[in-house]
Chain A
Amino acid sequence: MTETAPVITVSNLIKQFGRFAALRGVTAEFSAGKLYAILGDNGAGKTTLLRTLAGLNRPTSGQITILGAQKFGDICHQVGYMAHSSLLYDEMSGRENLDYFARLYGISESARCTQAIRAVGLDPDLRRPVGQYSQGMRQRMSLARALFNDPKILLLDEPFSNVDIHSATGMVHLLANIRDQGKTIFVVTHQASLLDGTADEFIWMEAGQIVARTLDLQQTARTT
């Protein structure tokens, strides 16, 4: 396997909320064109790590370098972020939501939004407001929202939660295709088996630290 230069470097990253340390000195490098599954129990620090990479949490100390930049604002247009919540307005249709968010990225061609909605298996002409979508549809529209700007790095927090197995498998195939185009994908999930055979690396977190990185789900953990 050829090693590529890291697109993300995290060095001794600490994030504290008051006295509670959600991340305790995370140090790691992540390469381009790989799909990383971040696993761990609730409270392990997975979401905090993802939010910190997405520039939503300011690190208490430590350094993050993404695509050569240390300031998230410099590369934010190259990052797609999907949170646990939908990040969509319930009163607007999926298409209206994406058209609005596309404007925030300076994208005026609606073809990009149409393409993103089709990629997740939804109908771009669906006029129903997002509030009336099923949970699975909402998750997929949320993924489309993270994809429309064709990001180099995709940060996904629990993308498969409340999604039926058929749709979840479809999402995994889509993510594999995106990864094969050279994009780097991080997936925080409790449904690791869905990514078995697709993820390039499984990152195990515990108590705010990366405790192991394994190449497949069954492999004995090798500590970093």
Chain B
Amino acid sequence: MPAPTGIMPATLRKDLRLEWRSKDAINSMLFFSLLVVVVFSFSFDPNAEESRRIAGGLIWVAFLFAAVVALNQTWAREIRNQVLDAYRVSPAPANSLFLAKAIGNFIFVSVLEALMTPLFVIFYQLRPLGPTWQLLIVAALGTWALVVNGTFFAAMSLRTRSREIMLPLLLFPISIPALLAMVQATANVLTGGGARVWIALLLSYDLVFTTACLLLFETVLNAE
């Protein structure tokens, strides 16, 4: 029997509906990021030039930590009532589930970024001196880099006893190249430079890790 179609959009719609009703992920991410912005702005008192140099690091580290909250939530609702087993016994392909989860997380983290970036701009008085459109590409590619690996490793740590700790332990080291590219690209654009090289690096990173995650996800899903 051929695998049923339309499962990825159906799973994505279901996840968005669940998040809309529970607001578990988005609320936790927003409060966490808000705290980071406020605490950092009180901790440092940088001038405009220093802000441009450090803002890339601050923004992306805040988003990375906030994303972990959403990533843990994604799979937590699948193991509540063991709903994941219902997916596993069905003819639905594993990768449809993975893609739906990754795209869902991408939407959640993008919403967070859209809401929090203006606050970073205000608190750190940021005004990009380089091409701003490149920042949009960096944000899209960087966010995908975080969520694709995050979704995969969150699924991997699903059955471990301390999965909240396990996820950052697995995700952060592997995200270092992407994080470096995101921070450097952001700092370059803010200080008047270009980010083409870093964008190319992010694109390659995304391609490699998306392919690897898609190839390995079925094994992770059916692991005992």
- Chain B residues, Cβ within 8 Å of A77: 1, 90-91
Instruction: Determine the distance from Cα of A83 to Cα of B83 in the docked complex, in whole angstroms.
Output: 10
Question: Which of A55, A73, A87, A103 is the most central at the interface, judged by chain B CB atoms within 10 Å of its CB?
Answer: A103
B7 lies within 8 A of chain A by Cβ:
yes
Chain B positions 10 through 23: 1 when the CB is less than 8 Å from some CB of chain A, otherwise 0:
11001001100110
Instruction: Determine the distance from Cα of A91 to Cα of B86 in the docked complex, in whole angstroms.
Output: 16
Instruction: Determine the distance from Cα of A54 to Cα of B22 in the docked complex, in whole angstroms.
Output: 31
Q: Chain A contact residues (Cβ within 8 angstroms of B): what range?
A: 20 to 34
| Of B42-50, B74-82, B207-215, the one touching chain A | B74-82
Binding site of A, secondary structure by majority: helix, strand, loop or mixed? loop
Cβ-defined partner of A79 (8 Å) among B1, B5, B18, B89:
B89
Q: Which residue of B lies closest to A138 (CB)?
A: B81
A56 lies within 8 A of chain B by Cβ:
yes
Chain B positions 130 through 143: 1 when the CB is less than 8 Å from some CB of chain A, otherwise 0:
00000000000000
A76 lies within 8 A of chain B by Cβ:
yes
- Chain B residues, Cβ within 8 Å of A89: 14, 18, 77, 81, 83
Given contacts A92-B14, A92-B18, A103-B7, whether A76 and B85 have CB atoms under 8 Å apart is: no
Given contacts A100-B14, A104-B4, A106-B5, whether A87 and B90 have CB atoms under 8 Å apart is: no
Instruction: Determine the distance from Cα of A103 to Cα of B90 in the docked complex, in whole angstroms.
Output: 10
Instruction: Determine the distance from Cα of A130 to Cα of B90 in the docked complex, in whole angstroms.
Output: 21
Chain A positions 58 through 90: 1 when the CB is less than 8 Å from some CB of chain B, otherwise 0:
100000000000000110110101010111111
- Chain A residues, Cβ within 8 Å of B80: 90
- Chain B residues, Cβ within 8 Å of A58: 222, 224
**Number of interface residues, chain B, beta carbon within 8 A:** 28
A213 lies within 8 A of chain B by Cβ:
no
Q: State how many angstroms separate the Cβ of B80 from the closest Cβ of chain A.
A: 7
Instruction: Determine the distance from Cα of A57 to Cα of B88 in the docked complex, in whole angstroms.
Output: 11
B173 lies within 8 A of chain A by Cβ:
no
Chain B positions 180 through 224: 1 when the CB is less than 8 Å from some CB of chain A, otherwise 0:
000000000000000000000000000000000000000000101
Q: Is the CB of B83 within 8 A of A56?
A: no
- Chain A residues, Cβ within 8 Å of B87: 104
Cβ-defined partner of A85 (8 Å) among B6, B7, B18, B82:
B82
Instruction: Determine the distance from Cα of A57 to Cα of B89 in the docked complex, in whole angstroms.
Output: 11
Q: Which residue of B lies closest to A107 (CB)?
A: B4
Q: Is the CB of B90 within 8 A of A101?
A: yes
Cβ-defined partner of B7 (8 Å) among A79, A96, A104:
A104
Cβ-defined partner of A92 (8 Å) among B6, B17, B88, B92:
B17
Q: Is the CB of A81 within 8 A of B83?
A: no
- Chain B residues, Cβ within 8 Å of A76: 89-91
Q: Is the CB of B89 within 8 A of A88?
A: no
Q: Is the CB of A106 within 8 A of B4?
A: yes
Q: Is the CB of A57 within 8 A of B81?
A: no
- Chain A residues, Cβ within 8 Å of B11: 100
- Chain B residues, Cβ within 8 Å of A92: 14, 17-18, 21
A145 lies within 8 A of chain B by Cβ:
yes
Instruction: Determine the distance from Cα of A91 to Cα of B18 in the docked complex, in whole angstroms.
Output: 6
Instruction: Determine the distance from Cα of A86 to Cα of B80 in the docked complex, in whole angstroms.
Output: 9
Q: Is the CB of A105 within 8 A of B18?
A: no
Instruction: Determine the distance from Cα of A88 to Cα of B3 in the docked complex, in whole angstroms.
Output: 22
Instruction: Determine the distance from Cα of A125 to Cα of B221 in the docked complex, in whole angstroms.
Output: 33
Q: Which residue of A lies closest to B5 (CB)?
A: A106
* 20 contacting pairs across A/B (C-beta < 8 A): A57-B224, A58-B222, A58-B224, A76-B89, A76-B90, A77-B1, A81-B89, A83-B82, A89-B14, A89-B77, A90-B81, A92-B17, A92-B18, A100-B10, A100-B11, A100-B14, A104-B7, A104-B87, A105-B4, A105-B92
Task: Give 18 A-B pairs besides A85-B82, A86-B81, A101-B90 with Cβ atoms closer than 8 angstroms.
Answer: A54-B89, A57-B224, A58-B222, A73-B91, A76-B90, A77-B91, A85-B81, A87-B85, A87-B86, A88-B81, A90-B80, A100-B14, A103-B6, A104-B92, A105-B90, A106-B5, A129-B21, A145-B86
Closest 10 CB pairs of A and B: A106-B4, A104-B90, A87-B86, A104-B92, A103-B10, A85-B82, A91-B21, A85-B81, A81-B89, A86-B81
